[in-house]
Structure 1
């Protein structure tokens, strides 16, 4: 993966400033291997907290069609993404699997007013995410290999060999000392979803 950037137009290590009299919010970065169901777990929590202004579920900009399935995102072509990046539209951007991903810059303003922002991230992009968000917790969504294989097969996007390759690929992230939590999503979505909702509630209360 290449081309990770932190907050657009700012030097490394710069951070957002809390609103006057307020407290900086927290960023929850959700990561996990293909087939673990992180989009489903995040969607469960988004439905639970619908209308609750304490929580912001960031909608990423990605260089793939908006109707491609999976997470709800803003789909743009490569040229549009490059222009948005040059214009400072992203607080974090990175490339993975032949696609470009960007987190809208306004997420930092929402965190500065004290909101908890939930961001669909990538382990390889954690250095850029840490640089952009001063208070960050990483939530890893996992699932047993056989469960992931079944889910990937149901998606119908890849051959059996391609799925096997994904399962054999061990996700590796940077060697960083981070606040991390693991949620197993091998069973019913409600189980993992409820655990994630509870974690978000605790983040607001702490």
Structure 2
């Protein structure tokens, strides 16, 4: 897998008791900087055989921007899902996202596997991956507003309405690390690496 979230696949690909590694799912609202921190962590751990960043399968063009992903058509995605090619898959904002079933190989080998995820899909991740860790990337409301304004994808009114709903907490029967990315890029990147290094120590 190369560096770089509602429904589960019908057939889980991780057999309980065989999972020696840890699945890490990174979530966070728009503007929190989740993708930036994941890209920085991927650079930091480049070359490590025991750290893998999942390349997601997404029903959008490869040159649409954002993360490096495997682009497929909706029909192609459906065929892959029916063939059991995904450990977890979900739909959001008109797109479908899939986590390749090959992650089970890395987990069985005791690796740390990091995936870009979605809060709405976390219970599906947990059903498939018993050793699940979640990194919830957050930022202060004023920081989120500034970053979203700079993107220019939403109107000011839409951004204010989004922020008025307040922060969404992430809680479940799994470990959650809240990572405040309100500060500098360097601070956020350093904290992300520290958290992942801690998970590696748990694997031993």
Fold match (TM-score > 0.5): yes
Q: Tell me the SS of whatever aligns to 1:51.
A: coil
Q: Could you say which residue in structure 2 is the equivalent of 1:9? A: 11
Question: Cα distance 1:133–1:43, how it changes in 2: closer, same or farther (>3 A)?
Answer: same
Q: Could you say which residue in structure 1 is the equivalent of 2:74? A: 78
Give matches, 1:15-164, under 5 Å: 15=15, 18=18, 24-164=20-160
User: In the TM superposition, what is the alpha-carbon distance from 1:10 to its structure 2 partner?
Assistant: 4.1
Question: Cα distance 1:17–1:32, how it changes in 2: closer, same or farther (>3 A)?
Answer: same
In the alignment, is the contact (CA less than 8 A) between 1:17 and 1:112 conserved in 2?
A: no
User: For structure 1, which runs of at least 5 residues remain unmatched after alignment?
Assistant: none
Question: Cα distance 1:108–1:170, how it changes in 2: closer, same or farther (>3 A)?
Answer: farther
Q: Tell me the SS of whatever aligns to 1:165.
A: helix
When structure 1 is superposed on structure 2, of 24-33 and 194-203 the one drifting more is 194-203
| Root-mean-square deviation (Å) | 2.0
**Structure 1: how far apart are the matches of 2:85 and 2:46?**
25
Residue 182 of structure 2 is aligned to residue 186 of structure 1: yes
In the alignment, is the contact (CA less than 8 A) between 1:16 and 1:108 conserved in 2?
A: no
Count of aligned positions: 197
In the alignment, is the contact (CA less than 8 A) between 2:136 and 2:170 conserved in 1?
A: no
User: For structure 2, which runs of at least 5 residues remain unmatched after alignment?
Assistant: 1-5
Please identify runs of 4+ aligned residues in structure 1 that moved more than 4 A: 170-175
TM-score (norm 2): 0.88
User: In the TM superposition, what is the alpha-carbon distance from 1:40 to its structure 2 partner?
Assistant: 0.5
When structure 1 is superposed on structure 2, of 106-115 and 146-155 the one drifting more is 146-155
TM-score (norm 1): 0.87
